[in-house]
């Protein structure tokens, strides 16, 4: 047996054991783009409705491939590439769509429809002042061969049980107060 083969036989089992133990423990962190999308959405929502909301919980969806257009009632973003139903205002408007000064969001709607299913989905539970049950939105990374954007989706669910079904369908393990 060659020396290289003996080294490979010595190193390979420990590498496999390490990978087998480490991969299930891996949980993706919240990308900065998700945080920015939530910040922009909450800022826009506050400027339109004069009602403040706070984030209760953020969960990564285990099955983003099950997120369909039927789950989404309205879309929010400042994508220059993908279409959204609501664009954030530009500088000088009633709300600023970015937390960083000097960065200007897009001024028009994107040209392409959102590709489904998204590459990643995050479920965000929100609570507004004086509201008995939380709201939820989905933050989804839509991408095609050319670009990717994070878009906020308000769900079509009208009741807590419908919202729970939507969250469960994409693999967000969260319980909505009934």
* 3 state SS of 14: helix
pLDDT digit string, tens, across residues 88-108: 876 544 444 444 444 444 444
- The whole-number pLDDT of residue 8 equals 62
Residues recorded for the chain: 178
The two counts, helices (H) then strands (E), for the chain are: 3, 6
pLDDT digit string, tens, across residues 28-49: 556 789 999 999 999 998 988 8
Task: Evaluate if residue 162 carries a pLDDT over 90.
Answer: yes
Q: How many CB atoms lie within 10 A of CB 67?
A: 24
Q: 37 near 139, Cβ under 8 Å?
A: yes
Confidence (pTM): 0.74
Percent of the chain with pLDDT strictly greater than 90: 49
- The whole-number pLDDT of residue 106 equals 42
Pairing of strands 86-87, 135-143: unpaired
* Averaged confidence pLDDT in the chain: 81
Of residues 133 and 155, the one with the higher pLDDT is 155
């Amino acid at each position: 047996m060659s020396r290289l083969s003996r080294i490979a036989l010595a190193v390979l089992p420990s590498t496999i054991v390490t990978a087998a133990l480490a991969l299930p423990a891996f949980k993706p962190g919240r990308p900065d783009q998700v945080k920015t999308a939530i910040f922009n959405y909450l800022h826009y929502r506050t400027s339109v409705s004069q009602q403040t909301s706070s984030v209760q919980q953020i969960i990564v969806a285990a099955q983003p491939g099950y997120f369909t257009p039927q789950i989404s009632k309205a879309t929010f973003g400042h994508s220059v590439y993908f279409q959204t139903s609501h664009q954030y205002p530009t500088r000088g408007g009633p709300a600023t769509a970015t937390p960083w000064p000097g960065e200007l969001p897009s001024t028009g709607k994107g040209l392409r429809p959102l590709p489904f299913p998204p590459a990643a989905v995050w479920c965000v539970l929100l609570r507004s002042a004086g509201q008995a049950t939380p709201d939820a939105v989905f933050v989804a990374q839509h991408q095609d061969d050319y670009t990717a954007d994070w878009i906020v989706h308000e769900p079509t669910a009208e009741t807590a049980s419908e919202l729970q079904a939507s969250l469960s369908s994409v693999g967000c393990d969260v319980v909505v107060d009934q």
